[in-house]
Amino acid sequence: MSARLTFAVPSKGRLMEQTAEYLAEAGLRLRKVGHDRGYRGEIEGVDGIDVAFVSASEIVSELNNGRAHLGVTGEDLVRENIANVAERVSLLKPLGFGKANVVVAVPRCWIDVSEVADLEAAAVAFRREHGRFFRVATKYVNLTRRFFSHKRFADYRIVESLGATEGTPAAGTADLIVDITTTGATLAANGLKVLEDGVILRSQANLVASKVASWPAETKKARDALLARLGIEAEPAQR
Amino acid sequence: MGTAPPANFEALEAQARTLLAVFIAAGHEAVAPPIIQPAGVFLDVLGESLRGRTYVFTDLNGEELCLRPDLTVPTCRLYLERHAAADRDAYYSYNGPAFRFQPSGADAAHPREFRQAGIEAFGVADREDADARTLTLVLTALAQAGLRGWDLKIGDLALFDAVLAAADMPERWRRRLRHEFWRPDAFRAELKRLTSGPARSAAAFPRALVDALDPGDPAGAESLVAAHLEEGGMELIGVRSAAEIAEGLLAIAADAKAPPLSTAAAELIDSYVRTRVPAPQATAHLRKLVGKGRSGIAGALDAFERRYMLLEESGLDMSGVEFSAEFGRNVGYYSGFVFEVIMASLGPASAVAGGGRYDGLLKAVGAPHDVAAVGGAIHTERLLAAVRGGKR
């Protein structure tokens, strides 16, 4: 039982469909077991694998705490939710779907701000005028902190936003945002532009392996069988 | 883990009574500001870097609150609750817990929960006198609690401001340097950048607009920016006004045209920032460094010297005190005199007490105008450890 490999795949939405398509291209079919709306499944024709259908963000925590061995999830979620990524998981392969960029976006009318460095100058004047730091609305608290710290920009404060982030500057609850965008259309519709050096991460769905799950020989065998079918080399460290 | 073992409780209580008795006898009313504070005040005043070390949470009403990371801001808020006009002087003292996340793990020297005992003096017009009294009172309390053989370090951020003011450069460059002061690497990089060429190329910005802006006509610049936005179909959203955006563009245009900072001015600033001398030599050293005839610096140096004399008159032995020009850069709100009490047994990263002047903080917290303010706080667990260590 414990030697079986747990493979976590997205349970809903476009990401679930694309994961199923990706596996189908390799001739692998996901099948739910139990009643129709069950959260467990298996892969037809590959032994020793339990499929767990969970939300993409939960997949990250399952990999991070070792309850799942492999999973399909966005790199943005991995880098946001795991502090020491390299120690906890391996990003085995970008899968070519679920593409989106995590970006810093400011109001288009800020024609005096085109790079993060300009943000610094604007922040000094803003603080003098309004007596507070810029507010950055985002759900990517950790990615934002790391990026701004790398860019030596410190005059901001994060307001956590779990939905409709792109509307916060117009609403006045934030001054700029860090959010995910695919085409930029939503940002533009909300009067925002991406800073020239404001792409924090070009994210896409990845096949991710947990480094903290237990990997007995039988589990490794199941993994190697799955990866072989997908045409992916496991990292040498994983053997 | 991270909190004092129970055996310390009695000792800490007794120590706190000693410290508070000294403060109260000197006319500092004992107050107990709330432990739970609105997070916004701290985060707007201290910035995101402190948020990483503040325990922030949301209550059931969705209000963002925090466990206070220090007692200075809560005491400022208490003063403003009592005196909203901030129009009178007040002397407070306190002893109570403060909370900070320790990124590299909590230990005895860096607990996540610790007790601060301290004083604040608000609205006292004679700044040097209030500075000297604050330091003297903190040292008296430390001595009363049994501490001996400390090292004292002092600095003065008003001197740094004066050195910047005396150097020939646009005001916004000074703002930028002041702003980077507390990050040594960024500060040096900025200084170098200002001496080596245009501070910012104007190429990334709407060229025709930038060329049309007249620095002497801010109102005209504002309407040009408003017209440019309208023409480009860019809605003016958010809190920043067209005037602020125009000001930003004017600064960019001016930066692109301004001659670089002279090497002599940059060297003066750099050698000032690197100054570390015994306090008794500081005034003479600094007068020599900055030369004569700079009236702005002379005023700040006179204040520094007067404070020094007041400290000496109070009976403090200044011979072992170190003056460090860059000291004080790591806390955002200090604006003048700063001090720190170090024990060799605990090391320089674990100051037993510290404080300084922060004339801009009350306004940031909601006062209608700047209020003269100076204070000092004692890290009581460290004090106890140092006193006990000294007896062994």
Residue A143 contacts B, CB cutoff 8 Å: no
Q: pLDDT tens across B261-304, in order?
A: 888 889 889 989 999 999 999 999 998 888 755 667 888 999 99
Q: Which residues of A touch B43 (CB under 8 A)?
A: 133, 157
Q: Kindly determine whether residue A122 and residue B183, on different chains, have CB atoms separated by under 8 Å.
A: no
Please check whether residues A146 and A189 belong to one and the same domain.
yes
Cβ pairs bridging A and B (under 8 Å): 109
8 Å CB contact between B65 and B59: yes
Please check whether residues A19 and A84 belong to one and the same domain.
yes
Query: Residue B47 is nearest to which of A109, A121, A133, comparing CB atoms?
Result: A133
Q: pLDDT tens across B172-195, in order?
A: 788 778 877 777 887 888 888 888
Please check whether residues A32 and A95 belong to one and the same domain.
yes
| Residue A4 token pair | 């079986």
Please check whether residues A95 and A144 belong to one and the same domain.
no
Q: Choose between B333 and B309: higher pLDDT.
A: B309
Please check whether residues A12 and A95 belong to one and the same domain.
yes
Strands A176-181 and A134-138: parallel
Name the closest residue on chain B to residue A174, using Cα atoms. Answer: B238
CA distance A115 to A122: 11
Mean per-residue pLDDT for A79-90?
Answer: 90
Please check whether residues A176 and A228 belong to one and the same domain.
no
Residue A197 contacts B, CB cutoff 8 Å: no
Residue B62 contacts A, CB cutoff 8 Å: no
Residue A130 contacts B, CB cutoff 8 Å: yes
Residues of chain B above pLDDT 70, percent: 91
| Domain span(s) for CATH 3.30.930.10 in chain B | 1-150+372-384
Please check whether residues A127 and A159 belong to one and the same domain.
yes
CA distance A174 to B207: 29
pLDDT of res. B292: 55
Q: Kindly determine whether residue A155 and residue B179, on different chains, have CB atoms separated by under 8 Å.
A: yes
Q: Which residues of A touch B252 (CB under 8 A)?
A: 112, 118, 121
Torsion sign (Cα): B157, B159, B165, B167:
negative
8 Å CB contact between B356 and B330: no
CATH number at residue A17: 3.40.190.10
Query: Residue A109 is nearest to which of B179, B234, B364, comparing CB atoms?
Result: B234
Four-way CATH pick for B1-150+372-384: 3.40.50.720, 3.40.190.10, 3.30.930.10, 3.40.50.920: 3.30.930.10
Please check whether residues A32 and A85 belong to one and the same domain.
yes
Q: pLDDT tens across B5-42, in order?
A: 556 889 999 999 999 999 999 999 999 999 999 988 87
Using the predicted structure, report yes or no on whether residue B392 has a pLDDT greater than 50.
no
Chain A: closest CA distance from residue B367 (Å): 11
Query: Residue A157 is nearest to which of B43, B176, B244, comparing CB atoms?
Result: B43
Chain A: closest CA distance from residue B55 (Å): 14
Please check whether residues A186 and A234 belong to one and the same domain.
no
Mean per-residue pLDDT for B133-141?
Answer: 98
Name the closest residue on chain B to residue A157, using Cα atoms. Answer: B48
Residue A118 contacts B, CB cutoff 8 Å: yes
Name the closest residue on chain A to residue B174, using Cα atoms. Answer: A124
Mean per-residue pLDDT for A161-167?
Answer: 90
Query: Which pairs from B203-209 meet CB under 8 Å and 24+ separation?
Result: B204/A114, B204/A115, B204/A196, B205/A111, B205/A112, B205/A114, B205/B249, B205/B252, B206/A111, B209/A111, B209/B249
Note down the domain range covering A58: 5-99+205-238
Chain B: closest CA distance from residue A190 (Å): 9
Name the closest residue on chain A to residue B52, using Cα atoms. Answer: A145
Q: pLDDT tens across A102-141, in order?
A: 999 999 999 999 999 889 889 988 988 898 889 999 999 8
Name the closest residue on chain B to residue A149, using Cα atoms. Answer: B49
Please check whether residues A230 and A167 belong to one and the same domain.
no
Mean per-residue pLDDT for A140-154?
Answer: 85
Please check whether residues A105 and A195 belong to one and the same domain.
yes
CA distance A175 to A105: 10
Residues of chain B above pLDDT 90, percent: 56
Domain count, chain A: 2
Q: pLDDT tens across B334-368, in order?
A: 889 999 999 999 998 889 999 999 998 999 889 99
> Is residue B305 packed enough to be buried (19+ CB in 10 Å), middle (13-18) or exposed (0-12)?
middle
- Which of A157, A162, A176 to substitute to test the interface with B, most B CBs within 10 Å? A157
Please check whether residues A104 and A193 belong to one and the same domain.
yes
Tell me B346's DSSP state.
T
Using the predicted structure, report yes or no on whether residue A237 has a pLDDT greater than 90.
no
